[in-house]
Structure 1
Amino acid sequence: MSVRSIAIAFAATTMASISGRQAVSEGFGGLGSAAEGFSVPQPGQLLRFSADHGPHPDFRIEWWYLTANLEAPDGTQYGAQWTLFRSALAPGEAGEWSSPQIWMGHAAVTTSEDHFVAERISRGGVGQAGVVAEPFAAWIDDWQMTGHAAPGSDQLADLNVTAAAKDFGYELRLSATGPLVPHGDNGYSVKSAKGQASYYYSQPFYAVTGSLSLPTGSVEVAGKAWLDREWSSQPLAEDQTGWDWFSLHLDTGEKLMGFRLRDEGEGYTSATWITADGRPDPLPAGALQIAPVRTAKVAGRQIPVAWNIRIPSRGFDVTTRPLNDQAWMSTSTPYWEGPISFGGNVGGRGYVEMTGY
């Protein structure tokens, strides 16, 4: 999302342990803490490509976040996630072990029966992890997201994505069939009534082919993927306790990104309706209405795993179904992330992320 996941672990767990200081507990995972010394998003700044595909070390947190809805030839459904997070102990970059940048990678594969998860953590400056804008490359250890686009073209248009862990792995090829999509006000995405914000854009139009490696063997898959790019320094208000984020591929070819940031009241919602040809329609705060319709016991807690999502102004009304209730990311800071299908006045597939439960 968006305000997406694991800056969390950086802002709270990872940054505190590496710096030897107690993390400030303001907002979920410390993401509402003060951004003193760091750059903060400003309205009216235009996104720059391909430069913005690369890192922004003067901002505190950032991610390259891929989710894929996949299907085998026999119709079996799968989900895959590849995410690289950057978090800064201080603004700016420096060489080798003096770098203040910390990197973390998450990879996952979801089936109807299992949810496989792996995590990597690295210090910046020594080549173990990083991102280059052009020619595009993102990596942590041997987990790779590598671009093959021609010079001068969109560097995210053609990607190879690989990850391997003890029980699973994947090799995926992504080809964009539509444009990059900014969220909010031309990429300036507001996250609270108090004005916290991030820079946020997506590539929601990937066609995917490739293979999964599972304990039962290799599986050829194809499907759709969604890549989120987001960076900020203080994306949450101090009273926001987590979020529910949705990316939906509608059968009509349209897309929807929406999230709710939870607080002690009704929360703060935002959404972008994306036409089939890639034109964004940012919806006003409150236009998106979401409500849980079923919970399940996951990792010892009750998690809402099915949702009703409504946009009354568009007559949009769907209910989601998870591929696997137990899509729990048992990482440094745990969260729920998994593939869904949905039905109602339109069908489709997508992904849900939930933090703070």
Structure 2
Amino acid sequence: MTKRISLILALLWVMLSAAVRPQDNLPAYPPVVPGHALSFPSDYGAHPDFRTEWWYITGWLETAGGKPLGFQVTFFRSRPPLDQTNPSRFAPTELLFAHAAVSDPALGSLQHEQRAARSGFGLAEAARGDTDVHIGAWSLQRDAGGTYRTMLDARDFTFELVLRPPQPPLLQGERGYSRKGPLPAQASYYYSQPQLGVSGVLTRQGVRENVRGTAWLDHEWSSALLAEQAVGWDWIGINLDDGGALMAFQIRDKSGGKFWAGGALRHADGSVTRLPAAAVNFVPRRRWRSPRTGTEYPVSMQVHAGELALDLVPLMDDQELDSRASTGAIYWEGAVTALRGAQVVGHGYLELTGYFRRLDL
């Protein structure tokens, strides 16, 4: 399967390279600007004029027997620098990618699969107007009532999940304008759907298991995310047990220090505290080295978000995701438990990018 995906991508990029003229008729990617008001339900859908976009779901599941599992379902959309005058229906004006993963401590490493396709011909599409994205049989959709459904059939597992948001979207940054650096253009449009109630079926090795849990959805789109000085980021999305939610991120520079940061804390009463760069810090507590890539990741972190300090403990150490057959990155994406002192206060995901090499979006 990996060889087939790699071949497909190679053919796509051959076509892309033949179609690109370095200075002529390239797309004019729209900038992300402050003051732009997000509008729903249209902003649940795709924004194909922008260079990059993703719908990113991470969460914790529990089987009927009480076994904890982590899971990830992500769809990416990319608008490559293609000659806009190319009349061919086969010109790859939009590329779609998808990742899916299960974290099971009983296995000790990530079960993961990925997809890649050119948009069009009914085979793959990210629709405008509302969330409706698919690559073949892999899909994520939102209905008029706000419920999400995702279905996919990977080699080692199958998901059929329903995700229901009990809260309105959490607009990140300044009403959805999320800075990623000191320049105004270094930004994205970004909202989250925390505390998603999850139910459905997970199938592995022919065995269907009913599962329940909580999840977090991020939807983000931009034309330029990372500054030249940046190499990657550390990010958390934590569903707190009191009904609140915490998103925090730290973009690292080439020395490994904090280049930029930010976040938002939704309290149990629904009020939101915006977290400026100075209020967010990620402090590594323990590192793990991948036996496959040799990359070291700080899989156990203490995160300071304003007056809140959380210790993050991974469900398991080996949650490294190798997406070189699709988006090209190698990163750590893992289920974590959040503790305040010795007390468990929430569960969520920690994402660590740019440790293998600089993340190129």
The TM-score normalised by the length of structure 2 is 0.84
Q: State the SS of the aligned residue for 1:286.
A: helix
Aligned equivalents of 1:331, 1:143: Cα separation in 2:
17
Which protein has the larger Cα radius of gyration, Structure 1 or Structure 2?
A: 2
In the alignment, which residue of structure 1 is the partner of 2:200?
Answer: 210
**Equivalence for 1:325:** 317
Unaligned stretches of 5+ in structure 2?
1-5, 21-25, 356-361
| Amino-acid identity (%) | 35
Query: Partner letter of residue 223 of structure 1?
Result: G
Q: CA deviation at 1:20?
A: 2.9
Structure 1 residue 137 corresponds to structure 2 residue 129:
no
Cα pair distance change 1:301/1:37, threshold 3 Å:
same
Is contact 1:15–1:89 with CA below 8 Å preserved after alignment? Answer: no
Instruction: Find the aligned partners of 2:204 and 2:41 in 1 and give their Cα distance.
Output: 35
Q: Deviations over 1:183-219 (max 9, x none)?
A: 0000000001233101001111310111211238322
Contact conserved, 2:288 with 2:298, CA < 8 A, in 1? yes
- Shift in CA distance, 322/95, structure 1 to aligned 2, threshold 3 Å: farther
Name whichever of 130-139 and 226-235 sits farther off.
Answer: 130-139
State the alpha-carbon separation in 1 of the partners of residues 68 and 153 from structure 2.
20
- The residue aligned with 1:26 is none
- Confirm whether residue 128 of structure 1 aligns to residue 112 of structure 2: no
- What is the rounded CA distance, in whole Å, between the counterparts of 2:15 and 2:39 in structure 1? 32
What displacement does 1:16 show? 6.0
Q: Provide the rounded CA distance (Å) in 2 between the counterparts of 1:14 and 1:67.
A: 31
Q: Provide the residue aligned with 1:19 in structure 2.
A: 16
2:332 corresponds, among 332, 336, 339, to 336
CA deviation map 1:158-186 (0-9, x unaligned): 01111111111111111111101110000
Matched residue, 1:241 = 231
Q: Is 1:159 paired with 2:142?
A: no
Which residue of the other structure, out of 104, 114, 119, is the alignment partner of 2:114?
119
Q: 1:268: Cα distance to partner?
A: 1.3
Q: CA deviation at 1:344?
A: 1.6
Is the 8 Å Cα contact of residues 98 and 125 (structure 1) preserved in structure 2?
no
Q: Which amino acid aligns with 1:301?
A: T
Gaps in structure 1 of 5+ consecutive residues: 1-8, 24-34, 151-156
- The answer to whether the 8 Å contact 1:183/1:280 transfers is no
Give the counterpart letter for 2:150 in structure 1: V
Distance 1:197 1:14 in 2: 32
Give the conservation status (yes or no) of the 8 Å contact 2:12–2:92.
Answer: no
Secondary structure of the equivalent of 1:304? strand
Alpha-carbon offset, residue 74 of structure 1: 2.7
Cross-structure match for 1:261: 251
User: Residues 1-357 of structure 1: matches in 2 within 5 Å?
Assistant: 19-20=16-17, 37-90=28-81, 96-112=89-105, 113=107, 114-134=109-129, 136-150=131-145, 157-195=146-184, 196-215=186-205, 217-263=207-253, 264=255, 265-298=257-290, 299=292, 300-311=294-305, 313-314=306-307, 316-332=308-324, 333-345=329-341, 347-357=345-355
